Chains A and B, each alone.
Chain A
Amino acid sequence: MKERRIGANIIGFVFLVFMGFPVYWMVTTAFKLPKDVLRADQKLWPTSFSLDNFRMAFSRDYFVQSIMNSLIVVSVTVVVSLFLALLASIAVARTNFRGRSALVVMILIVQMVPLTALIIPLFLQLSSLGLVNRLPGVILTYIAFVLPFVIWTLRGFLAGIPVELEEAALVDGCSRPQAYRRILFPLLAPGLVATGIYAFIQAWNEFLLAYIIISSQDKQTLPVWLAGFTSRTGTDWGPLMAASVVAAIPAVVLFSFAQKRLAVGVTAGAVKG
């Protein structure tokens, strides 16, 4: 037993370095003095501590604006997609209607169509709707892209709540919407939080669609703003790493809360012991 542990620990340690080093390098670079960032010979261990890179990043144009844009995009995406998905998943999980399995198939197929293939017609579509270079264009796109997963996951949470509870409420004289509001929603709350966090992270992290749809600087979301640190003359590495730390924190924090509920979803039930 003992020597097996050692082998596993060595593998674990190697992966810790491989997976962790880029994160370490981002954080230590962010906190270095700017003159230590731009050195031909880099040192593995931090040699200085300063917040200059953060100051330089925050004083770049459109920093606050792009955070605001990201927050608008994220909050509308989360609220609207959760609402639409809640309605749809109730229908999928609780009733058996014609076309139900077609919907399930569609949800799966939608998740598998290459984004890079869809971008071209999507851009032209948004262009003809007058939604190019506007936040509503980004929001609408994000809602559609997170909906399949959100519906799918909520359906899973719903399936775990016994239908008898609602039926009992119906027998006791509740209307269907009342039964949903008083019985179902409170039980579903943890599922709503987890899927809401998923939608938040997707919308907060997404780069490519926003990069294509948005062209003016005052409408950039945070990842598009980050891409602007690179110009033809080079990249502002120190401030870029500082801003990257800031951009990564919300997603990392939220995800560590929701990970247990979301992670297993994809492959759950695949092993039948």
Chain B
Amino acid sequence: MAAPTTEGRRQALWSYALVAPAIIVMLGVLGVPMVRLVLLSFQQYGIDELISGTAKYIGIANFTAIVQDAEFWAALRRTVLFTAYAVTGSIALGAVLAHALVRMSTVLRWVVNAILIIVWSMPQLVAISIWRWMFSFDFSIIASVIRSLGFTFPNRDWFVNPVMGFGIIGLVVIWGAIPFITISLYAALTQIPRDYIEAAQIDGANRWHILRHIQFPLLAPVYVILITLSVIWDFQVFSHIWVMLEFRPSPDYYTLAVYAFQTSFGISQYGRGSAIAIAMVLVLLGATGYYIRRMIKETR
């Protein structure tokens, strides 16, 4: 901490002046709504309140309502299962590809990298639209390919069965997540000094030993970051479900994010929707809080 000299105080004032505009914008647009989310969850807030701008506090009624609501628990279950599927899939596939990239021929590595960058930078709505097109009811290329392999496979609504529907939506999420995960892991892998691996090879280590005892332990912190971020992102997947199901998903597809959104904007129960959102944040914090704290400590 700076000594309380005039120079020190002037410097501090100067710093505050520099940070203030950014802080004001972030607090106004992100901080205030965070507080408001908590307040809303204790309020009766519907269309009338939206128009009049005043709301009545109703204690924990919103929360008792959602706890007694079977739909909420079903949505929570779907969200957890979906997150587990999407996170496992994207981390596992990203790791396989990252390790393969290290040993791949230069030309192929270059091409794969180019594709990863294209997928990574694509607008989310474009990405989802392509997959919706690939799995459309009448004109699906996937169904056509399956037929061309000799199977009887009529065109179908792929989303009638929610297990299959979530399987496809998860695939879209995994596909979109692979570039970031692969490139992060690949960057970390190439940072491992060559001597470590050479020394191990001289001592007779095979590829599996190197993977298990050198690469994996050294990359563990990166995995922790990537898994934590993936859990946070996949737990709140919304646009994929919303757009893949043409902006009106059936209740079979209500994850917590969709359910909170539908409760708020669909039936204008903003207070109740906020309570669901709060529950979502709490579950997420419970699952990742420890790792987030560790990440914050490390970056300080």
Using a CB–CB cutoff of 8 Å, the interface residues on chain A facing chain B are: 4-5, 7-9, 11-13, 15-16, 18-20, 22-23, 25-26, 29, 37-44, 84-85, 87-88, 90-92, 95-98, 100-101, 103-106, 108-110, 112-125, 127-128, 140-141, 143-145, 147-148, 151, 176, 201, 204-208, 212, 222-223, 226-227, 229-230, 235, 237, 240-241, 244, 247-248, 251-252, 254-256, 259, 263-264, 266-267, 270-271, 273
Contacts and interface: CB of A to CB of B under 8 A. Distances in A.
B139 A151 contact: no
B61 interface: no
A25 B196 CA distance: 43
B18 interface: yes
Interface of B: 1-2, 11-12, 14-16, 18-19, 21-23, 25-26, 28-30, 32-34, 36-37, 40, 45, 50, 53, 93, 96-97, 99-105, 108-109, 111-112, 114-127, 129-134, 136, 138-141, 144-145, 147-148, 155, 175, 178-180, 183-184, 187-188, 191-193, 196, 207, 218-219, 221-222, 225-226, 229, 232, 235-236, 238-239, 243, 246-247, 257, 260-261, 264-265, 270, 273-274, 277-278, 280-281, 284, 288, 292, 295-296, 299-300
Contact of A271 (B37, B118, B192, B246): B192
B115 to A, nearest CB: 5
Given A22-B130, A44-B141, A125-B33, 13 more contacts: A12-B109, A15-B97, A88-B23, A116-B277, A119-B261, A144-B29, A205-B123, A205-B124, A212-B265, A259-B183, A264-B184, A267-B226, A273-B191
Secondary structure type dominating chain A contacts:
helix
B187 A264 contact: yes
Max chain B C-beta neighbours (<10 A), residue from A37, A87, A97, A201? A97
Contact of B29 (A39, A141, A266): A141
A116 B244 CA distance: 17
Contact of A248 (B126, B140, B265, B281): B126
Contacts of B260: 116-117, 120
Contacts of A223: 123-126
28 contacts: A11-B97, A12-B101, A13-B108, A15-B93, A19-B179, A22-B175, A38-B139, A41-B147, A87-B18, A88-B21, A92-B19, A95-B11, A96-B1, A104-B300, A108-B299, A116-B238, A116-B277, A117-B37, A120-B264, A124-B36, A141-B29, A201-B121, A223-B125, A229-B129, A240-B133, A248-B118, A263-B183, A264-B187
Contact of B108 (A9, A145, A201, A248): A9
Given A114-B280, A120-B277, A267-B188, A44 B119 contact: no
Contact of A251 (B121, B141, B219, B273): B121
A230 to B, nearest CB: 6
Dominant SS among interface residues on chain B: helix
A189 to B, nearest CB: 19
Contact of A273 (B97, B100, B148, B193): B193
Contact of A244 (B53, B117, B130, B238): B130
